Amino acid sequence: MAKLRFILGDHLSRRVTALQDIDPQSDIVLMAEVGSESSVVGFHKQKLVFIYAAMRHFAQGLREEGIKVDYIKLDDSGNSQNLEGELERALMRHHVEAVVVTEPGAWRVREMMDNWQTRLGLPVEIRDDDRFVCGHGEFRAWAEPRKSLRMEFFYREMRRKTGLLMAGTEPEGGQWNFDAENREPLPAEYVPPRRLRFEPDSETQAVIDQVRKRYSSNFGDLEPFEWAVTRDGALQALDHFIETALPGFGTFQDAMRTGEPFLHHGLLSPYLNVGLLTADEVCRAAERAYYQGDAPLNAVEGFIRQIIGWREYVRGIYWWKMPDYSKSNVLGAGRDLPWFYWSGKTTMNCLKQAIADTARHAYAHHIQRLMVTGNFALLAGIAPAQIEAWYLAVYIDAFDWVELPNVHGMVMFADGGLLASKPYAASGAYINRMSDYCGNCRYSPKTRDGEKACPITLLYWNFLVENRHTLQSNPRMKMPYRNLDRMDAAALANIRARAQGFLERLSATKDEADDEPQ
């Protein structure tokens, strides 16, 4: 029985369930570049290049194996520019008795897929995505009986399940978590490792040219485009990370430095999320480095925790709680996203640097996302849906299942603490401790009055006051509220007036730093 195997842009793994039992004699693979998916939000140009170039290379690999691939390019005549339209057109070209697809990474697409069988009038098999450690049912069974969820306990279950860094039934080194040894600022003279970047081949260059023509007004730099777009390239990136950057991963995980967006981070999320690497092989490679004495336990445990802990945990929450999850807004945040998130024109150097890194590479590391662009959005009360759309657009690794819970839950606390036990709110003092940004800023992180008062610090105290009703009973917020209550009333009133003035100016001007030399 001939089947049409529909492979989406984040299913680029030869082991993806939709391809697992393919019969090259009779089956056909359908892949389609469609405008409706590339304009859900105005994606960063490098994200578009990455996905289309990776799809084209993947299709070529299948053809080399003798598999028939029907590949629709963005500019092909007749392209309906949407997934359903391309599936319908393909069914007119090929005589097949069923469609096979792996579940997508977005609720929106899942809902659409659930209707395909009725709409198309032939069997549509939607298979689970087994590239993850934890299935949907397994996560639900873990989460549902619990009053509150903590990633740390979920992570321990995943360690036990995978056997990663386990010495029998005990965690390697006698502890589950070595974070106490991590999160140092970068010493001034420290030289981070140079990272492997990739030259585009002619196929990738053709995609770059196409994106230049079609999406010139989208956010971000198109070139240099330096991401790998094949499995071989992704494996090289993994090896290089393990050799050069993994040993310092834990220690400098939270550090930030001007002009150094990569530091000791993996740069592996785009490859993991589209299927060029698997979570299992990445974690096993890190574990091997530990047992061979090439990387310390604090680094390897910290890295593995991000993947089998956080990555699996946010995915579990997404599929458990959608579609209602995205609608909550516990802090009632509703301010428009400031234009500087797109232009990078702001007087706040921390934001300017994080947005510049994002524009240049379609990448910023976790702490830039959480504690700079995320922290500002939380403190300024940006409408969750607007800041979510920004993250989905600008990061090369952003897919709904992973972007949404990170922004909605971890950054915006819009779910009231389902995902994270407290809001990650911080004043300028945190950014000053973990980066060199404040040294080159017109503001001063500890200053709360006068011209040099740091907007992040002002907004931090204002945020605590404005959200007291919701947050003060949270046990993890006791310390910030104790500090707030120690503050002199007149000083606090002045901080609040300044914070309000800042927010009003932000709403009134398109670019907060229009009058600033850039």
User: What residue ranges bind ligand FAD (CB under 6 A)?
Assistant: 265-269, 272-273, 303, 306-307, 310-311, 314, 365-366, 369-370, 374, 391, 395, 397-398, 402-403, 406-407, 410-411
Q: Which is nearer to ligand SF4, 31 or 348 (CB)?
A: 348
Choose the contact partner of 263 out of ligand SF4, ligand FAD, none; CB within 5 to 8 A by kind: none
Q: Which is nearer to ligand FAD, 85 or 192 (CB)?
A: 192
The three-class DSSP label of residue 100 is strand
- The residue with tokens 């240099």 is 224
For ligand SF4, which residue of 134, 418, 431, 434 counts as binding (CB under 6 A)?
431
Q: Could you give the C-alpha distances from 124 to 6, 10, 21, 32, 36, in angstroms and in order?
A: 10, 19, 15, 17, 21
Residue pair 327/406 in contact by the 8 Å Cβ criterion: no
- 42: contact with ligand SF4 by CB under 6 A: no
Q: What is the dihedral of CA 186, 191, 193, 194, to 10 degrees?
A: 130
Q: Which is nearer to ligand FAD, 41 or 484 (CB)?
A: 41
For ligand SF4, which residue of 443, 460, 461, 463 counts as binding (CB under 6 A)?
443
Choose the contact partner of 245 out of ligand SF4, ligand FAD, none; CB within 5 to 8 A by kind: none
Choose the contact partner of 290 out of ligand SF4, ligand FAD, none; CB within 5 to 8 A by kind: none
Q: Report the chain's C-alpha Rg in angstroms.
A: 24
Least distance (Å) from ligand FAD to the CB of residue 398? 3
Q: Which is nearer to ligand FAD, 300 or 411 (CB)?
A: 411
User: What distance in Å separates the CA atoms of residue 86 and residue 89, rounded to the nearest whole number?
Assistant: 5
Give 96's Cβ-side CA count (13 Å radius): 27
β-pairing, 28-32 vs 68-72, is parallel
Residue nearest to ligand FAD (CB): 266
Least distance (Å) from ligand FAD to the CB of residue 61? 23
- 348: contact with ligand SF4 by CB under 6 A: yes
Choose the contact partner of 391 out of ligand FAD, ligand SF4, none; CB within 5 to 8 A by kind: ligand FAD
Q: Which is nearer to ligand SF4, 306 or 353 (CB)?
A: 353
User: What distance in Å separates the CA atoms of residue 146 and residue 151, rounded to the nearest whole number?
Assistant: 12
- 432: contact with ligand SF4 by CB under 6 A: yes
- The residue with tokens 């999850």 is 325
Sign of the alpha-carbon torsion through 145, 148, 154, 156: negative
Q: Which is nearer to ligand FAD, 43 or 443 (CB)?
A: 43
Choose the contact partner of 348 out of ligand SF4, ligand FAD, none; CB within 5 to 8 A by kind: ligand SF4
What angle is formed at CA 123 by the lines to CA 120 and CA 126, rounded to 5 degrees? 100
Least distance (Å) from ligand SF4 to the CB of residue 156? 35
- 271: contact with ligand SF4 by CB under 6 A: no
Choose the contact partner of 441 out of ligand FAD, ligand SF4, none; CB within 5 to 8 A by kind: ligand SF4
Stretch touching ligand SF4 by CB under 6 A, among 27-35, 64-72, 81-89, 441-449? 441-449
User: What distance in Å separates the CA atoms of residue 506 and residue 335, rounded to the nearest whole number?
Assistant: 10
User: What distance in Å separates the CA atoms of residue 216 and residue 197, rounded to the nearest whole number?
Assistant: 23
Kindly state the tokens that stand for 372. 């700079």
Choose the contact partner of 456 out of ligand SF4, ligand FAD, none; CB within 5 to 8 A by kind: ligand SF4
Q: Which is nearer to ligand FAD, 250 or 455 (CB)?
A: 250
Alpha helices in 194-296 (DSSP H): 202-214, 231-240, 269-274, 279-291
Q: Which is nearer to ligand SF4, 334 or 439 (CB)?
A: 439
- 437: contact with ligand SF4 by CB under 6 A: yes
- Ramachandran area for residue 409 (φ above 0: left; ψ -120 to 50: alpha; else beta): alpha
For ligand SF4, which residue of 8, 378, 456, 464 counts as binding (CB under 6 A)?
456
What character string, x for contact with ligand SF4 (CB under 6 A) and - otherwise, covers 389-428? ---------------------------------------x
- 364: contact with ligand SF4 by CB under 6 A: no
Q: How far is CA 99 from the centre of its chain?
A: 30
B/e letters for 218-241, b = 16+ CB within 10 Å, e = fewer, are bbbebeebebbbbbebbbebbebb
User: What distance in Å separates the CA atoms of residue 308 and residue 157, rounded to the nearest whole number?
Assistant: 10
Q: Which is nearer to ligand SF4, 198 or 502 (CB)?
A: 502
- 269: contact with ligand SF4 by CB under 6 A: no
- The residue with tokens 């050069």 is 244
Amino acid (1-letter code) at residue 377: A
For ligand SF4, which residue of 445, 460, 463, 513 counts as binding (CB under 6 A)?
445
Q: Which is nearer to ligand FAD, 45 or 369 (CB)?
A: 369
For ligand SF4, which residue of 54, 99, 438, 464 counts as binding (CB under 6 A)?
438
- 441: contact with ligand SF4 by CB under 6 A: yes
User: What distance in Å separates the CA atoms of residue 8 and residue 77, rounded to the nearest whole number?
Assistant: 20
Q: Which is nearer to ligand FAD, 409 or 480 (CB)?
A: 409
- The residue with tokens 């503050």 is 487
The three-class DSSP label of residue 43 is coil
- The residue with tokens 């299935």 is 135
Residues that bind ligand SF4 (CB under 6 A): 348-350, 428, 431-432, 437-438, 441, 443-445, 454-456
